[in-house]
Chains A and B, each alone.
Chain A
């Protein structure tokens, strides 16, 4: 899966989960930029990503994923390692 594909699918997950239908993700975005992206929703986000991409994250990785660019890279790496 390429970064662009991951990004597209991720955008859908974000729009759905945060109920922001017009959201356009960019790699530079982080949890600071989206009010709804707090600790509670972050966990929902992580599990939804795990479900849709069929991957699993370490607990230690979860806190590093609060930035879209890092998140995409981590998903791509996990999908390749599958």
Chain B
């Protein structure tokens, strides 16, 4: 079921909410069970065939996590159990997401005599696999305190995040499901959650979806695009993805808050970033956090500790040597980003997307390491120009990366780059109305506070939102003016909602 469908908004959501708070009167277990059941229906709506897979994954992981928790006295056995559990998760993910593509790739490139049938990707498999692997590792390390079964199932299946994130951490979720106040209806939280949901819905149906047609056509046939047209398609795609995924994340946060649950922030105006390091701290923030936690940190820690124990320096001055920089910064960064790329899909274009960002980040870190901390004036026109040019350069670098991210194949991406580099001339077919519309979107992205800032103190997400503007002109308040605004936005969104339009991150 899609958040942006009539059946979800008019039927599923009201029933899920009413049933949850009504059954809570009889006890929290009933409310929890109701929410699990609703979430499973939500999941099965799309394709019931994958429900057994989701259930098997939850049961297997919970059983394994309990075994891991109880074998703390026998570390070797505990490690073996953890490795087995992680292995099963990754094998399932590999089978559904990569197996067919890899066989096809080997058959085409190396003439390998192998055959595989395409497999339908179970919705949300990367997301529920990741959250559960994280839980297993934390149980092994002894930092998972709450290990109740119902809270665990709720944490994994809770429908606002089940299909495309945010990628939750049990430590921030399970205590919330153990909290009594979660089970009491709060009109304030409902109102705030609904407001955030509607703002997200508006981003999705009114701002993102209309860009889709031109983008799909452009990426399907990039062979004819000139310099301006190719850049135009790439820029439009960056806007579409931005409003689609940030809209989805707002809707997830809003929905969770109607159930008195706070999700972590997933988006914090990433296109306002002044460099690529900052960009990854503000774009798909929960994925960055997850990979830092379970991939980058362990790798980098291992390298730095190894150096420390073997008499190689680990100080700032050692980071400035070629060997120090390569081993402590470049290697873990490139590996992590390569895997981030592949997490999105099996194609070579995703691998190159990851590696390109790995290169951006390494370059960014090299600037910081070797040039030192550039002390810049905090105000004045020179600083403003520097800020604007940093933001523009970062955005352009991101758009180039997104060409790889969106292209159906590496060949199509290269063809797009050919157009963008001006090799096919500069004729343009961009119309003035299109330009005007994109300018409106640009003002929304770069000139306005984001949804979390608009919600101010009511912001229903976990994590700190920077208050770049001291007084936000559009600050949300529980008054008639905002009620009317949200009502109008909802009406417009509902009218724009024709047909079904999946969220772009559903494919991951």
**Is this pair of chains taken from one and the same complex?**
yes
- List A residues at the B interface (Cβ < 8 Å): 16-20, 30, 32, 35-36, 38-40, 43-44, 46-48, 50-51, 58-63
Which 5 A-B residue pairings sit nearest by Cβ, starting from the closest? Answer: A43-B300, A47-B304, A60-B141, A60-B143, A63-B293
Q: A47 with B373: in contact, given A36-B368, A58-B143, A59-B141 (CB under 8 Å)?
A: no
B70 CB to nearest chain A CB (Å): 19
Complex CA gap A20/B328 in Å reads 21
Which residues of chain B have C-beta atoms less than 8 A from A50's C-beta? Answer: 305, 308
Contact present for A62 and B301 (CB under 8 Å): yes
Complex CA gap A48/B315 in Å reads 8
Complex CA gap A51/B313 in Å reads 11
Contact present for B292 and A39 (CB under 8 Å): yes
B329 contacts the other chain (CB 8 A): yes
Contact of A44 among B293, B296, B314 (CB under 8 A): B314
7 additional A-B pairs beyond A32-B466, A44-B319, beta carbons within 8 Å, are A39-B292, A39-B297, A44-B316, A48-B314, A59-B293, A59-B301, A63-B289
Contact present for A17 and B316 (CB under 8 Å): yes
How would residues 280 to 307 of chain B score, 1 for a CB under 8 Å from any chain A CB and 0 otherwise? 0100000001001110111011001100
Return the chain A residue nearest B307 by Cβ.
Answer: A47
Return the chain A residue nearest B143 by Cβ.
Answer: A60
Contact present for A47 and B308 (CB under 8 Å): yes
Q: A30 with B296: in contact, given A36-B368, A38-B277 (CB under 8 Å)?
A: no
Contact of A19 among B304, B316, B333 (CB under 8 A): B316
- List B residues at the A interface (Cβ < 8 Å): 137-138, 141-143, 277, 281, 289, 292-294, 296-298, 300-301, 304-305, 308, 314-316, 319, 328-329, 333, 365, 368, 372-373, 464, 466
Q: Give the number of residue pairs across the A-B interface with Cβ within 8 Å.
A: 77
B369 CB to nearest chain A CB (Å): 8
A20 CB to nearest chain B CB (Å): 7
Complex CA gap A18/B315 in Å reads 10
B313 CB to nearest chain A CB (Å): 10
Q: A43 with B141: in contact, given A17-B316, A63-B293 (CB under 8 Å)?
A: no
Complex CA gap A18/B368 in Å reads 10
Return the chain B residue nearest A57 by Cβ.
Answer: B301
Contact present for A61 and B289 (CB under 8 Å): no
Q: A40 with B315: in contact, given A32-B466, A63-B293 (CB under 8 Å)?
A: no
B219 CB to nearest chain A CB (Å): 32
> Of A18, A39, A48, A61, which is in contact with the most chain B CB atoms at under 10 Å from its CB?
A39
Which residues of chain A have C-beta atoms less than 8 A from B464's C-beta? Answer: 30, 32
Q: A44 with B328: in contact, given A19-B373, A59-B141 (CB under 8 Å)?
A: yes
Complex CA gap A61/B292 in Å reads 12
Complex CA gap A36/B278 in Å reads 11
Contact of A58 among B141, B281, B292 (CB under 8 A): B141
